[in-house]
Amino acid sequence: MQKIKYKIYTFGCKVNQYDSCFLEKELLSFGCFEKSDDEFDLIIVNTCAVTRVAISKEKRFVNKLKKENKNACFVIFGCWPKVYQEDFLDKKFDIVRNTGEFDLLLCDIKKFFSIKNKQEKQEKLVAKNRVRYTIKIQEGCEQFCTYCIIPYARGKLKSRDTQEVLAEITEAIKYGYKEIILCGIHLGLYGVDLETKINLTDLLKEILKIKDLGRVRLSSIEVTEVSDELIELIKNNSKICPHLHIPLQAGSPKILKLMNRPYDLAYFEKRIKKLRKEIPQVAITTDIIVGFPQEEENDFKQTYEFVKKIKFSKAHIFPFSAHPKTPAYKMTGQVDKKIIKERSEDLRILSEKMEKEYINSFLGQDLAILIERLENDFFIGKSEYYFEVKIPFSDNLKIGEIKFLKYSGII
């Protein structure tokens, strides 16, 4: 039987990456698909719609890719067609499916290629190509920040069954993964929709019981969901990475209110202080949106000073890009792009300074380094605090293992 050669291109977040791996696993289970990097019978583009800039990049990429692969079955999947269905009315793509429509997408692909064979036995594991295993445990968001398209793209909160999550993690550990990354659209609300009344901290406690677990890491979590119980669990368990990505988005009270964020600056600062009191060297990374409507010079200065005050270990800076289907798009006081660019650069410089200071604070300390790859006679590894470390080549090291090494400043 001739193999159907495919390629999946993925844009966006860890959840999208997980979804693409899931699709790949399902395709391979049919027994007639083969991953390729040159000739394609099937091309799937898993899209992101988090910003207008992201969609513009995808449009350019997809148009170029389609011209270069005129004979391939071309599939557009994900958040972009979910939010902007009107972009696909011309039907120039063979298959278009929204986020979450996995079964329908697979049926469409089977129909296109006239596949009638039964599926092979499916494995529980989704990805086998990295030393860190990312698992999606939750979908959806109902927070409706005024700038965000994600609730429209991903829908209501939906948590995966706890036993299903634990089984997949157990399988990943058996395969050799040393770090498990829990991801979701609104990770901190895992379990609120389940009848079992389990929460994220409860899930972590169950994960810690799994035999041979190396370590587990959380992806983005809202400050309102960093509970005392969660802090205590991280503090007392070395297998939970002391790193939390907590989006701030703005350091101006006025802008936070316009964004419809669920906290104020006093609350945010209080929770960060609690975190650092219990876990002094905890890594706290964040997201900042620059140039939100009505952001005046004083508002930006407030954000800059608050970021400086908190001393994040790293800040990801996002120039504001309004979606026509979000409330922020219609707000008055849209900020000039040149000003947004200048302010963004100021914050990036500050972020680089904070990141360097934070990393240097570990000089001479022992770190748990997960060896990820080899580059130019150096092993590159990820510390439990999330920053990368360069280690001179040694026969005593191998990719995929966690080694406790004294940090010498080689990064």
pLDDT of residue 42: 95
Q: Is residue 96 helix, strand or coil?
A: strand
**23 φ, ψ (degrees, to nearest 5):** -60, -40
Give domain 132-358's CATH architecture: Alpha-Beta Horseshoe (3.80)
Do 48 and 78 contact (CB within 8 A), yes or no?
yes
Do 229 and 193 contact (CB within 8 A), yes or no?
no
Query: Residue 90 corresponds to which tokens in the numbers above?
Result: 């011309």
Write out pLDDT tens, residues 65-78. Answer: 999 998 999 999 99
pLDDT of residue 1: 58
> Is 3.40.50.300 the CATH number for 4-112?
no
Q: What is the mean pLDDT of the chain?
A: 93
pLDDT of residue 395: 86
Residues 321-340: what's their mean pLDDT? 93
If pLDDT is split at 50, 70 and 90, which confidence band does 30 have? confident
CA 142, CA 144: separation in Å to the nearest integer? 6
| Domain residue ranges in the chain | 4-112, 132-358, 366-406
pLDDT above 80: residue 126: no
Residues 108-114: what's their mean pLDDT? 93
Write out pLDDT tens, residues 238-293. Answer: 999 999 999 999 999 999 999 999 999 999 999 999 999 999 999 999 999 999 99
Do 37 and 4 contact (CB within 8 A), yes or no?
no
Output the pTM of the full model: 0.91
pLDDT above 60: residue 384: yes
If pLDDT is split at 50, 70 and 90, which confidence band does 324 have? confident
pLDDT above 60: residue 411: no
Neighbours of 71 (CB within 10 A): 8
If pLDDT is split at 50, 70 and 90, which confidence band does 178 have? very high
Counting residues of the chain whose pLDDT is more than 90, the rounded percentage is: 81
pLDDT of residue 127: 63
151 Cβ contact list (under 8 Å, min separation 6)? 140, 141, 142, 143, 144
Identify each DSSP E strand in 65-224 by its residue range.
Answer: 73-78, 95-98, 132-139, 158-159, 179-184, 215-218
Query: Residue 395 corresponds to which tokens in the numbers above?
Result: 């026969």
If pLDDT is split at 50, 70 and 90, which confidence band does 204 have? very high
**371 φ, ψ (degrees, to nearest 5):** -75, 120
Instruction: Using CB atoms within 10 Å of the CB of residue 211, give its burial: 0 to 12 exposed, 13 to 18 middle, 19+ buried.
Output: exposed
pLDDT above 90: residue 137: yes
Range from 269-278, 318-327, 400-409 that averages highest in pLDDT: 269-278
Do 391 and 378 contact (CB within 8 A), yes or no?
yes
